[in-house]
Amino acid sequence: NAGVTQTPKFQVLKTGQSMTLQCAQDMNHEYMSWYRQDPGMGLRLIHYSVGAGITDQGEVPNGYNVSRSTTEDFPLRLLSAAPSQTSVYFCASSYTGDRASEQYFGPGTRLTVT
């Protein structure tokens, strides 16, 4: 049971480039989410999904796209990277996403945009 996995661990992009951050979980969780972590700001919710084919925006969705074609995978796409997207990105999952649920986090992807 690998839990929540993320790839890559590190990435450097140039402004304007696109890329996809991968996230997978093997716990059969319905709910998956993406956060970004910036110094002094905690974690902020980017997008989330309550099941395959269902996604919604979080607090800071601009510049990011998501899709959920399977229960296991929830990729995050940066369409045209900007320096403001330099951050550490965490994927998380939980059984249902209800407000009492414990969220399980991946190890993170550290992204630098130059």
Partner 1 sequence: AQSVTQLGSHVSVSEGALVLLRCNYSSSVPPYLFWYVQYPNQGLQLLLKYTTGATLVKGINGFEAEFKKSETSFHLTKPSAHMSDAAEYFCAVSENDYKLSFGAGTTVTVRA
Spell out where 14-63 has E strands.
19-25, 31-38, 42-51, 54-57
Nearer to partner 1, 54 or 82 (CB): 54
Measured from the Cβ of residue 18, the count of other Cβ atoms closer than 10 Å reads: 11
Beta bridge partners, 64, equal 78
Instruction: Considering only the C-alpha atoms of the chain, give the largest distance between any 2 of them, rounded to a whole number of Å.
Output: 40
Nearer to partner 1, 16 or 56 (CB): 56
- Which pair of tokens denotes residue 21? 């951050």
- What is the contact surface with partner 1 in residues (CB under 8 A)? 4, 31, 33, 35, 40-45, 48, 50, 56, 58, 90, 92, 96-100, 102-108
Least distance between partner 1 and beta carbon 16 (Å): 29
Least distance between partner 1 and beta carbon 80 (Å): 27
Nearer to partner 1, 80 or 96 (CB): 96
